[in-house]
Structure 1
Amino acid sequence: MASQDYMDKMQLRQNYRNLWHTDLMGTIQADTPYCCFALWCGPCVSYLLRKRALYNDMSRYTCCAGYMPCSGRCGESKCPEVCLATEVFLCFGNSVASTRFLLQDEFNIQTTQCDNCIIGFMFCLQQLACIFSIIAMIVGSEEIQEASQLLSCLSDMVYCTVCACMQTQHKVEMDKRDGKFGPQPMSVPPVQQMSRLDQPYPPNVGYPAPAYGQPYAQPPPQAQGYPASGYPPAGYPPAGYPPAGYPPAGYPK
Structure 2
Amino acid sequence: MAPKYDMEKMELRKNFRNVWHTDLSHSIQNDTPYCCFALWCAPCASYLLRKRALYNDMSRYICCAGYMPCSGRCGETKCPQLCLATEVFCCFGTSVASTRFLLQDEFQIQTTQCDNCIIGFMVCLSQVACIFSIVACIVGIDELSEASQLLSCLADMVYCTVCACMQTQHKVEMDKRDGKFGPQPMAVPPPQQMSRFDQAIPPTVGYPPQQGYPPSGYPQHPPQGYPPMGYPQNPRPAYSQYPPAAYPPPPTYPK
Does the pair score TM above 0.5? Answer: yes
**Identity, % of aligned pairs?**
78
Q: Structure 1 198/8 Cα, relative in aligned 2: closer, same or farther at 3 Å?
A: closer
1:41-70 superposed Cα distances (whole Å, 9 cap, x missing partner): 000010001011111111110100000000
Number of aligned pairs?
A: 213
Q: Is the partner of 2:18 in helix, strand or coil?
A: coil
Q: Match for residue 110 of structure 1? A: 110
Question: Which runs of no fewer than 5 residues in structure 1 stay unpaired?
Answer: 217-227, 231-253
Q: Residue 123 of structure 2 aligns with which residue?
A: 123
Q: 1:139 to 1:36 in 2, by over 3 A?
A: same
SS in 1 for 2:109: coil
Deviation at 1:184, TM superposition (A): 4.0
Measured after TM superposition, the shift of residue 9 of structure 1 is 1.3
2:68 counterpart residue number:
68
5+ residue gaps in structure 2? 214-223, 227-255
Q: Secondary structure at the match of 1:119?
A: helix
Given residue 175 of structure 1, which amino acid in structure 2 is its aligned partner? D
For 1:1-253, what aligned pairs fall within 5 Å after superposition? 3-184=3-184, 188=188, 215=212
Give every structure 1 segment of 4 or more consecutive aligned residues whose post-TM-superposition deviation is greater than 3 Å: 184-199, 212-216
How big is the alpha-carbon RMSD for the aligned residues of Structure 1 and Structure 2? 2.8
Deviations 1:123-144 (A, max 9, x none): 0000110111111111111111
2:118, 2:2 → 1: CA distance? Answer: 26
127-136 vs 190-199, which deviates more? 190-199
Give the distance between the partners of 1:118 and 1:186, measured in 2 at CA.
34
| DSSP 3-state at the match of 2:145 | helix
TM superposition shift of 1:11: 1.7
Query: What is the deviation of 1:213?
Result: 7.9
After TM superposition, give the deviation of residue 87 of structure 1 in Å.
0.3
Shift of the alpha carbon at 1:215? 4.3
Q: Distance in 1 between matches of 2:115 and 2:6?
A: 19
Tell me how far apart the structure 2 counterparts of residues 116 and 145 of structure 1 sit (CA, whole Å).
Answer: 30
CA distance in 2, matches of 1:186, 1:109: 20
Paired with 1:29 and 1:188, the residues of 2 have a C-alpha distance of 33
TM-superposed deviation, 1:178: 0.8
Structure 1 pair 12–190 and aligned structure 2 pair: CA distance change class (3 A): closer
TM-score between the two structures when normalised by the length of structure 1: 0.75
> Which of these two proteins has the greater Rg computed from alpha carbons?
2
Judge which range, 186-195 or 141-150, deviates more.
186-195
Deviation of 1:14 after TM superposition, in Å, equals 1.1
